[in-house]
């Protein structure tokens, strides 16, 4: 377990090993389990596609030459799928000629290791691929956040002017109506709600990171107050 103790949350990574040779499969599986990874296996490219849909691995170790469907074709299909395309694929091949390697990279492979597999090399390439995957995920989350915040800012900008107009009109009407009148009370309730809407738009413009909470029907919505607190705290 020494390898994983130095690499934090990589210990929880799930790896799918796709290899038709039983001896090679068991060797790689044993090596990665000893390093602390959670391992699933598949004997060919076709089975790999089915297993990926079920387990959603963090990384795939893929043999190139296999029956039913070879590793290059399996990788090509994975990379054409929106859900699976971001899963890094490390090819394992005994035929490391230029044509094979070019085909592997053209199919979307991220790296390769030659057979016979060297333990130190494979573990190093796995750590690199997992680190890059996390960085890509973080970048995607930041881009998503940026888009949400820009949209929220634009909406707030568009809402502020009509809100101020309604608030001003309500306040003018209230000047000519006695405070005990029911109409005055109704207008005062409208004023309070308009000011509340203005406060929400103000909060939205102060958010730099967001947190969600469950809403009706299991939908996720932004928790404005908690997001604003996190933004100030961060």
State pLDDT tens for residues 187-227.
Answer: 999 999 999 999 888 888 777 777 777 777 777 777 777 77
Return the pLDDT at 137. Answer: 83
CA distances from 11 to 72, 121, 147 (A): 28, 18, 32
Most confident of 158-162, 188-192, 227-231: 188-192
β-pairing verdict for 111-114 and 89-93: parallel
At 213, is the secondary structure helix, strand, or coil?
strand
Return the pLDDT at 220. Answer: 72
Q: Which of 5-9, 133-137, 163-167 shows the lowest mean pLDDT across its residues?
A: 5-9
Return the pLDDT at 233. Answer: 66
- pTM, full prediction: 0.65
Q: Is the dihedral of CA 60, 64, 69, 72 positive or negative?
A: positive
Q: Would you put residue 218 in left (φ > 0), alpha (ψ -120 to 50) or beta?
A: left
And the tokens for 179?
């405070």
Binned at pLDDT 50, 70 and 90, residue 3 comes out as very low
- Are 219 and 154 spatial neighbours (Cβ–Cβ below 8 Å)? no
For the chain, give the mean pLDDT.
87
């Amino acid at each position: 377990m020494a390898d994983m103790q130095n690499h934090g949350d990589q210990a929880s990574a799930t790896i799918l090993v796709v290899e038709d040779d039983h001896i090679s499969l068991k060797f790689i599986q044993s090596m990665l389990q000893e390093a602390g990874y959670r391992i699933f296996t598949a004997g060919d490219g076709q089975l790999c596609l089915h297993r990926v849909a079920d387990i959603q691995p963090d990384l795939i170790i893929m043999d190139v030459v296999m029956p039913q469907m070879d590793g290059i074709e399996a990788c090509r299909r994975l990379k054409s799928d929106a859900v699976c395309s971001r899963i890094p694929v490390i090819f394992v091949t005994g035929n490391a000629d230029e044509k094979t390697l070019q085909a592997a990279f053209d199919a979307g492979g991220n790296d390769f290791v030659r057979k016979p597999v060297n333990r130190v090399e494979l573990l190093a390439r796995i750590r690199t691929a997992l680190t890059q995957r996390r960085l890509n995920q973080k970048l995607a989350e930041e881009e998503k956040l940026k888009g949400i915040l820009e949209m929220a800012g634009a909406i707030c900008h568009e809402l502020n002017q009509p809100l101020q107009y309604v608030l001003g009109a309500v306040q003018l009407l209230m000047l000519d109506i006695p405070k005990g009148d029911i109409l005055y009370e109704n207008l005062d309730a409208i004023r309070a709600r308009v000011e509340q809407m203005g406060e929400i738009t103000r909060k939205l413009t102060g958010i730099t990171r967001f947190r969600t909470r469950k809403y009706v029907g299991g939908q996720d919505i932004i928790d404005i107050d908690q997001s604003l607190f996190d933004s100030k705290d961060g």
